[in-house]
Amino acid sequence: MDKQTITIYDVAREAGVSMATVSRVVNGNPNVKPTTRKKVLEVIDRLDYRPNAVARGLASKKTTTVGVIIPDVTNLYFSSLARGIDDIATMYKYNIILANSDKNEEKEVQVLNTLLAKQVDGVIFMGNKITDELRAEFSRSRTPVVLAGTVDPDEQVGSVNIDYEKATEEATTMLIDNGHKKVAFISESHEEPINGVYRLNGYKHALEKAAFPYEEELVLQSEYTYKVGEAVYEQLNKAGATAAVVADDELALGVLNAALDRGVNVPEDFEIVTSNNSKLTAMSRPRLTTVEQPLYDIGAVAMRLLTKLMNKEEIEEKTITLPYTIGKKGTTK
Amino acid sequence: MDKQTITIYDVAREAGVSMATVSRVVNGNPNVKPTTRKKVLEVIDRLDYRPNAVARGLASKKTTTVGVIIPDVTNLYFSSLARGIDDIATMYKYNIILANSDKNEEKEVQVLNTLLAKQVDGVIFMGNKITDELRAEFSRSRTPVVLAGTVDPDEQVGSVNIDYEKATEEATTMLIDNGHKKVAFISESHEEPINGVYRLNGYKHALEKAAFPYEEELVLQSEYTYKVGEAVYEQLNKAGATAAVVADDELALGVLNAALDRGVNVPEDFEIVTSNNSKLTAMSRPRLTTVEQPLYDIGAVAMRLLTKLMNKEEIEEKTITLPYTIGKKGTTK
DNA sequence: CTGTTAGCGCTTTCAG
DNA sequence: CTGAAAGCGCTAACAG
């Protein structure tokens, strides 16, 4: 009953070879005579032997697992990236240890440490702010790190993203070109470079080109949830905004529905451009106009980059910028 | 530069104690004199020592990681469960290896095997069909398994869910009570017991109670994606349905929008009840009436059950049924 | 309260 | 092409 674990040693004995040979056939080492290989394979099959990955990890110092730090799996932006990451990881025979960080800086550091303790071969980090402490941990270990959908002005680790600044500028300009004088910009904390530096700069550039003044009431910092949409819309309304560039789809959808619930016509009286291209954008009525980021690809390319780093291959460029477009749907004219 | 890994042995030497003692303080074993503990802790801190979880796993035969098999992280139903799983796992100091299975039976078996090879202490499985092969793998290993949001008529492993049959019956009855003569039922394959047995039975019972005939054209099997909504709505329309119970939120939203796009008034001319209570249900206009499953809790309770199983605690009941309600929102009268 | 001693199951030189 | 042997870094009896 208590089926005891069978080891490489059992296989060796049963097949009349040394464990080194068994190890070789298990690992596909070509230096094994076909006859021997066949015999060993037969015993492996008969005994239903399965290599213990933990022992292998200890001996080889490779675990074939990578850590993925994600703010929240329940957010479609991040889960879409995660999907791309996992698919490529699987393709390269890696497994994923997924850890939610809640965008909590303390938890991020803690999670990173347990990931490193588990000897992951690499780490993919999502989340918009790289604190100094986190950066210190990154460089302290020799474990390669890649940021996915996350910018770090201090480009020490690999990263994959789109040009957030240009995308935001384009979105804002589009709204201005549609005749709006009061275009709002809503994102999470400006302490996150992706918002406070890149996107905000894009927004400002668009204003400058149009010779519009920068008005503080039009720039909001809000968490990315659907339910704050109401409150955010009220603020926009109060500020006199007639259009908004929103950095998150759930939030954008909340704002859209708040407007609709108040009888506002979208896009006639109010226009919205969102930023993440998650499947939510296709599910609203009208559909959300969005910056079309290649979410899956960002994850996939990040994981691909990480495999190269783990493999110590030469990398041309540690920072990869993927293309985007603006997908005009129903929330803009 | 090449900061070589420092081991328990280094700490022992530096602190002038044996590695056993270091191991004890690292593991919080009380049998260490405070002075010694303090000294060791100081050295650990100075050397920045981090225990190698892989070595620990090999020696202790416990990895403090559990495998989670998920059909698709990108589906809000599953990611909500995953969120509950991860939170409780973190609370109990476990990490999660997340593996997408795409509801692909072959991949499920393969993924389960690599999870077992990695010596996970337990497995949480999501996905609606437990094939015989999978069941065989489950019982072949002594690793505890818990199903989350997944029913298995053959109750060999732990599982956490709601009473799908009763919930579906209630939803259907509600629609019948609202005056509908043609209520449709849409789910994924009936080969999955959750649909073909539980939900379908609930639907049938509701019809029986109302003395309605069972009409095949009203029972559709469809994949759970938003974009098939159009086609599904067409079929419903052709079959003369005026109301539908849908087993997935994304699909329900697709159907709802297809109806709206055709100028149909919801809920006046067409009513919809969906089943998963994901956040999507609050995001549509009108909001989707849904079976209010406690998604996060299903995941959380499943993980909690698994910790007990891994801990070899006595379990009162391996199958846990959580309560649900029907949340009447905008897609029903 | 602390040290010694075996392993855990596998990879990896190094010989031959 | 194959085997012997030395670990990987840690836990877990067992003494003392």
Q: Which of A45, A83, A118 has the most B C-beta neighbours within 10 Å, making it the best mutation to test the interface with B? A: A118
Above 90 in pLDDT, residue B331? yes
Q: For chain A, list the domains and their CATH numbers.
A: 3-51 (1.10.260.40), 61-162+295-322 (3.40.50.2300), 164-292 (3.40.50.2300)
Residue B80 in contact with partner chain A when CB distance is under 8 A? yes
Residue B57: which pLDDT band, with cuts at 50, 70 and 90? very high
**What whole-number distance in Å separates Cα of residue A197 and Cα of residue A278?**
23
Q: Of A143, A126, A63, whose CA–CA distance to A295 is shortest?
A: A126
Distance from CA(B67) to C1'(C4), angstroms, rounded:
37
Q: What is the mean pLDDT of residues B269-283?
A: 97
pLDDT (average), residues A27-43: 90
Which nucleotide shows the minimum CA-to-C1' distance to residue A10?
A: C9
Q: Closest Cα of chain B to A145: distance in Å?
A: 17
Tell me, in Å, how far CA of A59 is from C1' of D7?
8
Contact B38/A at CB under 8 A: no
- The answer to whether strand D lies under 7 Å from the CB of residue B20 is yes
Residue A3 binned pLDDT confidence (cut-offs 50, 70, 90): low
Q: Chain-wide mean pLDDT for chain B?
A: 94
Cα separation, B232 vs A191, in Å, equals 46
Q: Is the pLDDT of residue A22 over 90?
A: yes
Residue B49: partners with Cβ closer than 8 Å, 6 or more residues away: B6, B7, B8, B10, B11, B43
CA–CA gap between residue B298 and residue B35 (Å, rounded): 46
Q: What's the gap in Å between the CA of B213 and the closest CA on chain A?
A: 34
| Span B130-173, pLDDT tens digits | 998 999 899 888 899 999 998 888 878 999 999 999 999 999 99
Distance CA B67, CA B131 (A): 18
Find and list the nucleotides of strand C having atoms within 7 Å of a protein beta carbon: 1-5, 7-13
CB pair distance less than 8 Å for B96 and A97: yes
The arithmetic mean of pLDDT across residues A200-222, rounded, is: 97
pTM (2 d.p.): 0.94
pLDDT value, residue A152:
85
The C-alpha atoms of residue A137 and residue A112 are separated, in whole angstroms, by: 8
Closest B-chain CA to A100: B86
Instruction: Determine the pLDDT at residue B220.
Output: 97
| pLDDT-wise least confident of A245-259, B25-39, B70-84, B299-313 | B25-39
Does residue B30 reach within 7 angstroms of strand C, measured from its CB?
Answer: yes
User: What percent of chain B has a predicted confidence (pLDDT) above 90?
Assistant: 83
Which pLDDT score is estimated for A49? 93
Using the predicted structure, report yes or no on whether residue A14 has a pLDDT greater than 50.
yes
SS3 content of chain B, % helix, strand, coil (to 5): 45, 15, 40
Residues recorded for chain B? 333
pLDDT tier for residue B89 given thresholds of 50, 70 and 90? very high
From A53, A83, A140, residue closest to B118, measured CB to CB: A53
Quick one: average pLDDT of A185-196? Answer: 95
B23 Cβ contacts chain D strand, under 7 Å:
yes
The tokens describing B40, both together, are: 């060791």
Task: Flag the least confident range among A209-223, A305-319, B230-244.
Answer: A305-319
- pLDDT for A2: 39
A98 touches chain B (CB under 8 A): yes
Dist CA B115 CA B98 (whole Å): 9
Q: At residue A183, what is the residue type?
A: V
Minimal CA separation from B142 to chain A, in Å: 8
Q: What is the 3-state secondary structure (H, E, C) of chain A?
A: CCCCCCCHHHHHHHHCCCHHHHHHHHCCCCCCCHHHHHHHHHHHHHHCCCCCHHHHHHHHCCCCEEEEEECCCCCHHHHHHHHHHHHHHHHCCCEEEEEECCCCHHHHHHHHHHHHHCCCCEEEECCCCCCHHHHHHHHHCCCCEEEECCCCCCCCCEEEEECHHHHHHHHHHHHHHCCCCCEEEEECCCCCHHHHHHHHHHHHHHHHHCCCCCCHHHEEECCCCHHHHHHHHHHHHHHCCCEEEECCHHHHHHHHHHHHHCCCCCCCCCEEEECCCCCHHHHCCCCCEEEECCHHHHHHHHHHHHHHHHCCCCCCCCEEEECCEEECCCCCC
CB within 8 Å: A74 and B80: yes
Q: Does B118 touch chain A (CB under 8 A)?
A: yes
Q: What is the pLDDT of residue A1?
A: 29
Q: Which nucleotides of D are covered by protein (CB under 7 A)?
A: 1-5, 7-13
**Residue A22: CB less than 7 A from any atom in strand D:** no
Q: How far is the CA of B300 from the C1' of C13 (A)?
A: 48
State yes or no: pLDDT of A298 exceeds 80.
yes
Residue range B188-203: average pLDDT? 96
Average the pLDDT over A200-225 and give the result: 97
Show the CA angle centred on residue A299, arms to residues A298 and A304, nearest 5°. 100
- Arithmetic mean of pLDDT, B306-327: 94
User: How far apart (Å, rounded) are the C-alpha atoms in residues B144 and A132?
Assistant: 40
What pLDDT, on a 0 to 100 scale, did the predictor assign at position A228? 97
**Number of cross-chain residue pairs from A and B with Cβ atoms under 8 Å apart:** 138
- Check: CB of residue B232 under 8 Å from CB of residue B258: yes
CB–CB contact A283 B65 (8 Å): no
Pairing label, strands A325-327, A289-292: antiparallel
Are the Cβ atoms of B51 and A117 closer than 8 angstroms? yes
The answer, yes or no, to whether residue B259 has pLDDT greater than 70, is yes
Binning pLDDT at 50, 70 and 90, where does residue B1 land?
A: very low
- The reply to whether omega before B267 is within 30° of 0 (cis) is yes
In this prediction, residues A160-187 reach a mean pLDDT of 97
Q: Tell me which residue in B54, B80, B115 faces A119 most closely, judged by beta carbons.
A: B54
Q: What is the pLDDT of residue A128?
A: 83
B255 contacts B232 by C-beta, under 8 angstroms:
yes
| CB nearest B50 (choices: A2, A117, A226) | A117
Q: How far is B208 from chain A (nearest CA, A)?
A: 35
Asked if residue A305 lies in contact with residue A149, where contact means CB atoms within 8 angstroms, the answer is no
User: How far apart are the C-alpha atoms of B63 and B72, rounded to whole Å?
Assistant: 25
How many Å from the CA of B61 to C1' of C10? 14
Residue A114: what pLDDT? Answer: 95
Name which of B129, B132, B152 is nearest B140 in CA terms: B132
**Is A25's pLDDT higher than 70?**
yes
Mean pLDDT of B239-251: 97
Q: How many of the other CB atoms lie within 10 Å of CB of B267?
A: 18
A65 in contact with B, Cβ within 8 Å: yes
Tell me how close the Cα of A329 comes to any Cα of chain B, in angstroms.
15
> Looking at the complex, does the CB of residue B69 fall below 8 Å from at least one CB of chain A?
no
Q: Which amino acid is at A193?
A: P
CA gap B306, B302 in Å, rounded: 6
Residues in CB range of B69: below 8 A, 6 or more apart: B99, B101, B108, B111, B112, B115, B123, B124, B125, B126, B127
| Range of lowest pLDDT (A50-54, A240-244, B145-149, B155-159) | B155-159
| Dist. CA B247–CA B189, nearest whole Å | 11
Asked if the Cβ–Cβ distance from A54 to B63 is below 8 Å, we say yes
pLDDT digit string, tens, across residues B203-231: 999 999 999 999 999 999 999 999 999 99
pLDDT above 70 for B197: yes
Cβ atoms of residues A119 and B54 within 8 Å: yes
Task: Confirm or reject contact between B139 and chain A (CB < 8 A).
Answer: no
Per-residue pLDDT tens over the stretch B93-140? 999 999 999 989 999 999 999 999 999 999 999 988 899 899 989 988
Q: What is the pLDDT of residues A86-104, one digit of tens each?
A: 999 999 999 999 999 998 9
What is the predicted pLDDT for the residue at A315? 87
Would you call B283 an interface residue with chain A, using a CB distance cutoff of 8 Å? yes
Token digits of residue A254 = 């909340």
Answer whether B85's CB lies under 8 Å from B299's CB: yes
Is residue B326 classed as helix, strand or coil in its secondary structure? strand
Taking the stretch 38-67 of protein chain A, residues with Cβ within 7 Å of any atom in nucleic acid chain D are: 55, 58-59, 61
Is the pLDDT at A37 greater than 70? The verdict is yes
Percent of all residues in chain A with a pLDDT value above 70, rounded to a whole number: 99
Report in angstroms the alpha-carbon separations of A293 from A194, A217, A246, A320, B136: 14, 28, 14, 14, 42
